[in-house]
Amino acid sequence: MRRLGDGRRRPRTGVTRATETVERIKQFITTNGLQPGDCLPSESDLCDRLGVSRSSVREAVRTLSTLDIVDVQHGRGTFVGNATLHPLVETLAFRVDMLPGENQQALREVIEVRRGIDLGEARQVCSALRGAGDEELHRLVDRITAARKEGESFAELDRGFHVTLMRRAGRRIIADLVAAFWEVQVVTMAKLPPSTVTDLPSAHAEILKAAEAGDVNDYRRAVCTHYEPLLERFRR
């Protein structure tokens, strides 16, 4: 911070311009209704439209690329990104790395967040799936059951099941959060001594049955039954 003549502090111009340019590009994307995969104007065009320097645009694009808001394809241009939560996953996974000896507790907290999301969305999920007979969800449950019988991993199937539940309820942002915390859980588990969860009971079928019956209380009971073995395994 630099001081003005009257003693007040003035923010560093570079930081302010960089942040402002990031916000202007985000506003340009939303104002113009651009979607993932749409091409952004060239660097020089953005400078003219936003009234900023090339260095400000370049720094802003680097920041937005890190956040998966834009996708820089060298030789082709800059496109609107998918705005995934991958940066969140990377940050949380690194946060776990910064807690030496606390990986098991961190994993338990991640599982508790996943359980909390499922419990919190119980009414929406049950309302959306009541009487639905969703074929994709039933296929996932059948494949999970078969994998468990064969002693095979069903991690990706579990991810698909929980994400699909939220998408069926029209909860797209929540679905992204579910996927993100699932990925953090997998990354964190990989840092622990080898173990298997295929021998743990799961309640995917019970969760789906309760949802299609529209029974919120049974749904919540099934969710707790589903997560409790994992929480118990990683209890300190």
Give the tens place of pLDDT for each residue, 25-35: 999 999 999 99
- Rounded-to-10 torsion of CA 101, 105, 110, 112: 180
Domain 2-80 fold: Arc Repressor Mutant, subunit A (1.10.10)
Q: Is residue 4 over pLDDT 60?
A: no
- What is d(CA 176, CA 174) in angstroms, rounded to the nearest whole number? 5
What does pTM read for this prediction?
0.74
Q: Thinking of the domain 86-233, which architecture would CATH place it in? A: Up-down Bundle (1.20)
* Residue 200 per-residue DSSP state: S
Tokens read off for 220: 């919540």
Give the tens place of pLDDT for each residue, 213-236: 999 999 999 999 999 988 888 775
- What is d(CA 201, CA 205) in angstroms, rounded to the nearest whole number? 11
DSSP per-residue codes, 41-63: PPHHHHHHHHT--HHHHHHHHHH
Top-confidence residue, 222 or 2 = 222
Question: Is 158 in a helix, a strand, or coil?
Answer: helix
| 202 exposure class (CB count in 10 Å sphere: 0-12, 13-18, 19+) | buried
**In the chain, which residue ranges form alpha helices assigned H by DSSP?**
13-31, 43-50, 54-66, 86-97, 103-120, 122-129, 135-149, 155-168, 172-189, 204-213, 216-233
User: Where do the structural domains in the chain lie, given as residue ranges?
Assistant: 2-80, 86-233
